[in-house]
Amino acid sequence: MPKRDYYEVLGLSKTATVDEIKKAYRNLALKYHPDRVSADKKKEAEEKFKEMSEAYEVLVDPQKRAGYDQYGHAGVESAFKQGGFQWQDFHHFDDLKDIFGGADVSDLLHGFGFGGDIFGGGRRGGLRRGSDLEYQLDISFDDAVFGGEKTITIPRYETCEECGGTGAKRGSKKEKCADCGGQGQVRASNGFFSMVQTCRRCGGEGYVIKTPCQACGGRGRVRTKRNIKVKIPAGVDTGSRLRIHGEGEAGERGGGRGDLYILMHVRPHEIFERHDFDIFCEVPIDFVTAVFGGEIEVPTIEGKIMMKIPSGTQSGKLFRLRNKGVAHLHDNGRGDQIVKVQIDVPVDLNQEEKKALREYARVSAGDKGPLARTFMDKVKRVFR
């Protein structure tokens, strides 16, 4: 059966905002809550819940959404490790927790029978995913415009090589928790009420370690430093946030890895300023070129070009060079370059130059340019 369109799954248009996507997912999550479906419809609700969560995972993430909008389902296949969406690919359990008022997500999803494939080992507590990390990366203006690759070094927890992440000493085994029977939780009764609680002995993992690994102290991970290559897409700007899946910290005792978030900071350029995807620069022109027109040399991010200046150009006039700006981050578009010309008033004139200017002043007899005429007209209206 072919996959449905993600926008159709959530009942949205392709122009939906992030807030609209979150609202739609919230409404559907509440609709298919285990307490709101009958026993004979739980299987159907499970399938719908997973389908809408897959759609949410893609559409709420700007990078995944851009790939999907451009190439359809093929554009997001690489985001799912096993070739198709699994609960291990879902990174928004905190959103589910908010939707259901801070409830334990493992309990919420076990109502559908999801727990084993989300949290591992079929246990309700399961293995905890490692923490996400954030790294602030300082890059040049050119790297932001054209893209590039950087190698960064980050301290993080890695899976212990001595015990393979189990936390148990090599040659020894983890033992099933006697208190919860390997379920990771225990049921406590109080009169008419019954409560399910995380097992205190095993911390919800379902097993205990009698002989811990000395290298990691039984935690299954050790602190170290790692070099990571970061591919910078063309079009990023200060404040852009990139996610590298699975490059965060390793979880304890075999838990999955978190993600690494790269926060970009772009160093200023000596000539160019950036305004969204447009590039702005100021270029001086001499008085003669401003009067008679001509061609001037203008720097762009791809090298120098010649630009025509019409006669009578005033200082401060803006010229637009189409498609000479920054490539759009999520599509094939590109910004423009805005060139502001400033008339360069000469200083330290020699006698011959001064004589020529005085002759011009005599011949022009104080003839005013368009800016001066406009200004004087305004003065007359105000002070008449």
Q: At residue 281, what are phi and psi to the nearest 5 degrees?
A: -150, 155
Model pLDDT for residues 335-347, shown as the tens digit of each residue: 999 999 999 988 8
Global pTM value: 0.58
User: Helices 18-31 and 42-59 sit at what angle, rounded to 10 degrees?
Assistant: 170
Report yes or no: 258 and 131 within 8 Å, Cβ to Cβ: yes
Q: Please indicate whether residue 178 or residue 185 has the higher confidence score (pLDDT).
A: 178
User: Where in the chain is CATH 1.10.287.110?
Assistant: 1-119
Residue 192 has pLDDT above 50, yes or no: no
Contact yes or no for 34/214 (Cβ under 8 A):
no
Average pLDDT, the chain: 83
Assign domain 283-345 to a CATH class: mainly beta
Domain 1-119, what fold? Helix Hairpins (1.10.287)
pLDDT of residue 235: 92
**C-alpha distances out from residue 11 to 74, 205, 268, Å:** 21, 38, 43
Supply φ then ψ for residue 12, to 5 degrees. Answer: -125, 160
Q: What angle do CA 41, 45, 51 make, to 5 degrees?
A: 155
Answer whether 219's CB lies under 8 Å from 225's CB.
no
pLDDT higher than 70, residue 89:
yes
- List of residues 6+ apart from 100 with CB closer than 8 A: 29, 33, 108
pLDDT at 117: 41
Q: Are 92 and 58 in contact (CB under 8 A)?
A: no
What is the phi/psi pair of residue 285, to 5°?
-130, 155
Please report the pLDDT score of residue 253 as a whole number.
Answer: 76
**In the chain, ranges of CATH 2.60.260.20 domains:** 283-345
Helix count and strand count (H, E) for the chain: 11, 15
Please check whether residue 141 is in contact with residue 269, taking contact to mean a CB–CB distance below 8 angstroms. yes
Residue 239 has pLDDT above 70, yes or no: yes
Task: Report which listed range, 24-33, 136-145, 169-178, is most confident.
Answer: 136-145
Please tell me the predicted confidence (pLDDT) of residue 1: 60
Instruction: Provide the residue count of the chain.
Output: 384
Mean pLDDT of 113-120: 43
Residue 305 has pLDDT above 90, yes or no: yes
Around 227, how many Cα atoms within 13 Å sit in the side-chain half-sphere? 3
Q: Which of 235, 61, 75 is nearest to 148 (CA)?
A: 235
Across 10-14, 185-189, 221-225, least confident range: 185-189
For residues 319 and 372, which has the higher predicted lDDT (pLDDT)?
319
Check if the beta carbon of residue 53 is closer than 8 Å to that of residue 22. no
Q: Cβ distance 355 to 361 under 8 Å?
A: no
Of 334, 337, 323, which Cα lies nearest the Cα of 283? 337
Highest mean pLDDT among 194-198, 221-225, 356-360: 221-225
Give the pLDDT confidence score for residue 119 in this predicted structure.
40
pLDDT at site 308: 96
User: DSSP letters of 234-278?
Assistant: TT--TT-EEEETT-SPPPGGGPPP--EEEEEEEPPPSS-EEETTE
Output the six-digit token pair for 34: 């285990």
